[in-house]
Amino acid sequence: MPSHDPAGVPATCAGCGLVCDDITVVVGERGGLEQLIRTCPLGDAWFAERVAPAPAVARLDGREAELDRALDEAAAILARARAPLVYGLGQTTCEAQRSAVALAEAIGGVIDPAGPLLDGASGLAYQTLGASTATLGEIRDRAEVVVVWRADPVATHPRLFERLELPAAGRELVVVDERRTATAARADAFLELPAERDVEALWTLRALVREVPIEPAVEPPLGELAARLRACRNGAILHRVRGHVEALALHALVRDLCRVTHVVAVMLRREANAAGAEDVLAWQTGYPAAVSFARGHPRASPGELSAATVLERGEADAALVVGSDPLEDLPPAAAARLRAIPIVSLDPRDTATAAAARVAFTTAAPGVHRAGVVHRLDGVPVPLRAPLATSRPGDDEVLAAIAGRLARPREALA
């Protein structure tokens, strides 16, 4: 049990994909959060949001309700639905993700993690070409050139450079983006590139890396970047490219570079367990995202079965949202459809989606009130801790309780 300790207790911050596990939380005499040590501003806000006064554990149409009644109603909604959608998952633990996949299977639904929408879709590029990647320690200890491509980790992953020990003598940081971001301000070299020119620039770099002559002459900054990467013994590209084609171009460039030198790429995922959501789904079904259980076995198709698509097509007729705020994140047409169908929401915070939900559970926050495992943005499993106590149930407990209430399996309903 968490207890008051003036020296603090160890904690792990799940505020972004870096999952810093060197945090100390000082718990006050009344069991509240008194002080955070080694957190960044993003981490401070993340903890603050999760210890803020929270709505009732269970709400029906925004009004406080008995937990049991809310669980009954959630199960009824999901059992009734012909095409339920399970969405989110990137901010909960692997344990809860396992329960969510099992539930999606039991109700014959579509399950899709929020990661591809929030971080950019690299799934098709991975399936087409593969990847070269590494854990953070490899990049910290070996990469002579670090390229940050269309990402602003100083804002989104504030401790990234501290953890990679950048800047450092003899190592170069190159930033490619459309404007001079906070990250660009720390770079040894900044390459200004409008977003729509990603594919062109990545393809040009491929030609330069492969030493294929190209006309007209390449603009000097791209030529310099290619030369830097070719010349290093070990390099890393940290990115947040958005679309399938951009991701494909990036993966192709990394593959070309690997014939010349040792290069790895890592996507800077925002959510602490976005990687875990894809991992759990992949080990249980064979596919990392956009999986449908409607036919009794997993099928996947990122274009056809992503959450945004099944909502925009008007197919989804109920949604189970776990630790995510899709009403804020989805494209407008998909969000409008989501608003029109019954939502069951699990979140430690009071989000727009929770507020609009037919059934909303305010759950214990992983990393604050609940221990568990998350997979960091580089795939490394890291344990979350529970420095504070709560009487609220965890995501996995709510999911298990809903599953237990599904009176009949899907086959019987058909």
Partner 1 sequence: MLRIVSGSVYDPANGVAGEVRDVCLSEGKVVEDVPAHAARIDARGMVVMPGGVDIHAHIAGPKVNAARRLAPEEHRGDAVDRSAVMRSGTGGTVPSTFVTGYRYALLGYTTVVEAATPPLAARHVLAELRDTPIIDAAFLLLMGNNLALFDLIRRDPARLRDAIAWWLEATGGYGVKLVNPGGVELWKRANGNVTSLDDEVAGVTPRRVIEAIAGAVHELGLPHPVHVHCNNLGVAGNWRTTLDTLDTLEGRRAHLAHIQFHAYGGRPGGRPRSRAPAIAEYLGAHPELSADVGQVMFGPATTMTADAPVSALLRDVTGGKWVNADTEVETGCGIVPFTYREKNYVHALQWGIGLELFLLSRDPWRLVLSTDHPNGGSFLSYPRLIRLLMDREFRNEQLRRANKRAIRRTVLLDDLEREYTLEEIAIVTRAGPARLLGLRDKGHLGPGADADVTIYDERADREEMFATPRHVIKGGRPVVRDGELVEAHAGELLRVTAAYDDAVEEVLRAQFEERYTVQFDSYPVREPWLLEPARRIPAGRPA
Q: Which residues bind partner 1 (CB under 8 A)?
A: 10, 12, 21-22, 94-95, 98, 102, 105, 123, 126-138, 140-142, 163, 233-234, 255, 258, 261-262, 264, 278-280, 282-288, 293, 295-300, 371-373, 375, 379-383
Q: Judged by CB, which is closer to partner 1: 6, or 296? A: 296
Q: Judged by CB, which is closer to partner 1: 77, or 300? A: 300
Residue from 58, 362, 116 nearest 247 by CA: 116
296 contact partners, CB below 8 Å, separation of at least 6 = 108, 410, 411
Q: Judged by CB, which is closer to partner 1: 90, or 342? A: 90
**H or E element that contains 228:** helix 220-231
Residue from 314, 292, 311 nearest 301 by CA: 292
Q: Alpha-carbon distance 30 to 33, whole Å?
A: 9
Q: Judged by CB, which is closer to partner 1: 51, or 260? A: 260
Q: Judged by CB, which is closer to partner 1: 355, or 400? A: 400
Q: Judged by CB, which is closer to partner 1: 106, or 118? A: 106
Q: Judged by CB, which is closer to partner 1: 28, or 130? A: 130
Q: Alpha-carbon distance 123 to 305, whole Å?
A: 13
6 phi, psi to nearest 5 deg: -60, -25
Closest approach, Cβ 147 to partner 1, in A, equals: 17
Q: Alpha-carbon distance 317 to 98, whole Å?
A: 23
Cis peptide before 342 (omega within 30 of 0): no
Burial class (CB in 10 A: 0-12, 13-18, 19+), 29: exposed
User: SS3 of 292, please?
Assistant: strand
**H or E element that contains 161:** helix 160-164
**H or E element that contains 372:** strand 372-375
Closest approach, Cβ 412 to partner 1, in A, equals: 11
Q: Alpha-carbon distance 205 to 218, whole Å?
A: 9
Residue from 40, 163, 89 nearest 372 by CA: 89
Q: Alpha-carbon distance 9 to 385, whole Å?
A: 9
Contact (CB, 8 A) for 274 and 90:
yes
Tokens representing 376 are: 């960091």
Closest approach, Cβ 129 to partner 1, in A, equals: 6
Closest approach, Cβ 93 to partner 1, in A, equals: 10
Q: Judged by CB, which is closer to partner 1: 134, or 319? A: 134
133 phi, psi to nearest 5 deg: -145, 175
Q: Judged by CB, which is closer to partner 1: 217, or 407? A: 407
Closest approach, Cβ 259 to partner 1, in A, equals: 8
Contact (CB, 8 A) for 362 and 52:
no
User: SS3 of 10, please?
Assistant: strand
Q: Alpha-carbon distance 103 to 85, whole Å?
A: 11
Closest approach, Cβ 290 to partner 1, in A, equals: 11
Closest approach, Cβ 80 to partner 1, in A, equals: 19
Closest approach, Cβ 167 to partner 1, in A, equals: 18
Q: Judged by CB, which is closer to partner 1: 264, or 335? A: 264
Closest approach, Cβ 372 to partner 1, in A, equals: 8
Closest approach, Cβ 91 to partner 1, in A, equals: 18
